[in-house]
Structure formats: C-alpha cells, structure tokens
C-alpha cells in the first residue's frame, strides 16, 4: 500500500468527509454549500476539506470570488482496485471452502435446523 492510499483510507474513515464526497458526486460546490448540512463551524469544515485535499480526493479552484471544491476520482479508483483484488482473493477462498464442504457432505443444506422445532408453546 502506498502513502497516497494510506491518506485516502484515512480520509474515508470519517463520516463527515464521506458525506462531503457524496455531495460532490453531484458536481462542484462552494465551501459554504458543503458546510450547510453539518452543525459545525466553517473552521471544522475547512479542516475536513484540507484532509480530503491532502488525500487528493478533492481539488479547489477559484471562480471569481468563490472557491469551488470538486471531486477527484483517481484516488478512489486506486483504493477500489486495491479492495477489488482482496475481494477476488476472498471470494476464491470461500468458493474453495464451499467446494470442500460440499464434497464432505457438510454443505449445510441437508438436515439444516431452523430452530423452530425447539420451541415449546
């Protein structure tokens, strides 16, 4: 894992930052627009935006007097690829386990107890 990906996962670890990224999927927004749904100071929102910017997940541009924040998908794509590789690995391992259980007759299909027979009314 690269330092860039470490910063990406760190940034994604916070629900406020994830909500900001979700909002930016609809297009660029001002800091004020991004801050509106949260009950926190502009300074706190700016700190969250700084973490996202350091992770390369957003970029700031000036449009006249306003600063627009836009989503950068590159780091998200890289993180998704990394997760996807592990997903393939674990799906392969689970498929192999299911095969072994099926061959041993332990696939969980026969004689499965749903617990309903144990209840006394």
Per DSSP, the chain holds a count of helices (H) and strands (E) of 5, 3
CATH class of segment(s) 1-105: mainly alpha
- φ/ψ (deg, to 5) at 52: -65, -40
Angle at 14 between CA 43 and CA 59, to 5 degrees: 60
Residues of the chain with pLDDT > 90, as a percent, come to 57
DSSP assignment, residue 62?
E
- pLDDT of 96 above 80: no
Residue with the larger pLDDT of the pair 85 and 79: 79
- pLDDT of 44 above 60: yes
- Predicted pLDDT at 41: 92
Question: Tokens 């007759």 appear where?
Answer: 105
Strand, helix or coil for residue 77: helix
What global pTM score does this model have?
A: 0.71
- pLDDT of 115 above 90: no
Give per-residue pLDDT as tens, 32-43: 999 999 999 999
Residue with the larger pLDDT of the pair 1 and 81: 81
- Predicted pLDDT at 48: 97
d(CA 45, CA 61): 17
- Predicted pLDDT at 121: 46
Please answer whether residues 56 and 4 qualify as being in contact, where contact means their C-beta atoms are separated by less than 8 angstroms.
yes
Please answer whether residues 34 and 45 qualify as being in contact, where contact means their C-beta atoms are separated by less than 8 angstroms.
yes
């Amino acid at each position: 894992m690269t330092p860039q990906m470490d910063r990406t996962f760190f940034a994604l670890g916070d629900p406020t930052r994830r909500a900001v990224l979700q909002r930016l999927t609809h297009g660029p927004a001002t800091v004020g627009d991004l801050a509106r749904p949260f009950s926190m100071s502009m300074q706190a929102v700016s700190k969250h935006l700084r973490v996202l910017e350091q992770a390369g997940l957003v970029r700031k541009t000036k449009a006249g007097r306003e600063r627009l924040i836009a989503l950068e998908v590159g780091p998200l794509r890289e993180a998704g690829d990394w997760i996807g590789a592990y997903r393939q690995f674990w799906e392969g391992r689970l498929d192999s386990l299911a095969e072994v259980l099926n061959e041993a007759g332990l696939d969980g299909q026969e004689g499965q107890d749903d617990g309903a027979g144990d209840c006394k009314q």
